[in-house]
């Protein structure tokens, strides 16, 4: 089985696409943000769980007290190094700039956040951030009822320099074939713009309500492969070998206790997002 199918685009019928903050919703779904800011906190051994949640509660309280309009949510790694990733979505880079400026201008909020950062830093082995741009042309059915999702499968693809057009051809081939073979399949693609790993990096997000969806995804991969046939699959294999330098896939579980979710999400699923 082709790695790209097995690790990323082998999505199950009930799988939906990526999260967003600050986007208009309809029918219970949230479109992906145009700009996605991620913050990764790598934790020291033994600093996961309740200890980290207690530290992060200071940030949540600060934004709640300020009634801050920009929201975020957290997800903890279930594979790879122990880490928590925070996701913030914006309509544009200008909106991100204005949010940063407003935070800096609010002396009370800035002071509280500075103190929280100092305390939280004692738990971390490292920290980094990234900024990504939404690629609608590479995504499939980009809206999702994120309030009822619980997990992310996140795949990072490193595209070889000078092979961007082949990468885009590859993903669009997948998108076209999956849309026909598995009509309910969803995923969202973001391209790195800034950060430690920017340049030729693409993130593919597959949100899930339950990990049982991983079990079912193999059936969809088979439908996809059968729909293309041997010659079609060989074409994709050749494209993948040509344009992808490396890739990695990991699982993350949403953490409501370290999140500052939108009011709409809390109303949609208060038992989960209001967890203390």
Task: Residue 161: give its domain's CATH number.
Answer: 3.30.70.100
Query: Are residues 126 and 64 located together in one domain of the fold?
Result: yes
Closest by Cα among 227, 13, 2, 268 to 140: 13
Alpha-carbon torsion angle 226, 229, 230, 236, nearest 10: -90
Closest by Cα among 159, 151, 178, 128 to 239: 159
Specify the pLDDT at position 209.
93
Query: Are residues 173 and 88 located together in one domain of the fold?
Result: no
3-class SS of residue 163: coil
End-to-end Cα spacing for the chain: 42
Residues 43, 104: Cα–Cα separation, whole Å: 27
Q: How far is CA 244 from CA 66, 132, 135, 221, in A?
A: 44, 19, 17, 20
Query: Are residues 106 and 152 located together in one domain of the fold?
Result: no
Total structural domains in the chain? 2
Enclosing domain of residue 230: 3-19+134-251
Specify the pLDDT at position 16.
36
Going residue by residue through the chain (276 aa), what tens digit of pLDDT does each one get? Answer: 343 433 344 443 334 333 333 333 444 788 899 999 999 999 998 888 889 999 999 999 999 999 999 999 999 999 999 999 999 999 999 999 999 999 999 999 999 999 999 999 999 999 999 999 999 999 998 788 999 999 999 999 999 999 999 999 999 998 988 888 877 788 999 999 999 778 899 999 999 999 988 887 777 777 778 888 888 889 999 999 999 999 999 999 999 999 999 999 999 999 999 976
With respect to residue 54, please indicate whether it lies within any of the assigned structural domains. yes
Query: Are residues 124 and 223 located together in one domain of the fold?
Result: no
Specify the pLDDT at position 67.
97
């Amino acid at each position: 089985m082709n790695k790209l199918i097995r690790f990323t685009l082998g999505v199950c019928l009930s799988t939906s696409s990526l999260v967003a903050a600050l986007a208009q919703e309809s029918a219970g779904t949230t479109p992906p943000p145009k700009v996605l800011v991620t913050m990764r906190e790598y934790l020291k051994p033994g600093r996961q769980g309740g200890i980290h949640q207690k530290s992060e509660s200071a940030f949540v309280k600060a934004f709640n007290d300020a009634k801050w309009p920009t929201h975020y949510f957290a997800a903890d790694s279930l594979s790879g190094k122990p880490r928590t990733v925070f996701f913030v979505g914006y309509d544009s880079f200008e909106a991100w700039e204005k949010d940063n400026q407003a935070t800096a201008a609010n002396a009370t909020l800035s002071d509280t956040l500075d103190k929280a950062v100092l305390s939280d830093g004692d738990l971390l082995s490292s920290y980094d951030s990234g900024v990504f741009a939404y690629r609608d042309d590479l995504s499939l059915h980009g809206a999702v009822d994120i309030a009822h999702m619980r997990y992310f499968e996140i795949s990072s693809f490193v595209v070889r320099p000078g092979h961007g057009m082949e990468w885009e051809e590859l993903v669009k081939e997948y998108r076209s074939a999956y849309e026909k073979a598995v009509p309910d399949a969803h995923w969202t693609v973001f391209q790195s713009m800034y950060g430690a790993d920017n340049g030729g990096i693409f993130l593919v997000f597959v949100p899930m309500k339950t990990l049982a969806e991983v079990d079912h995804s193999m059936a969809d991969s088979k439908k996809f492969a059968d729909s293309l046939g041997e010659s079609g699959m060989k074409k994709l294999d050749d494209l993948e070998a040509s344009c992808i330098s490396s890739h990695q896939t990991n699982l993350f579980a949403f953490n409501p206790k370290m999140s500052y979710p939108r009011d709409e999400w809390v109303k949609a699923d208060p038992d989960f997002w209001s967890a203390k």
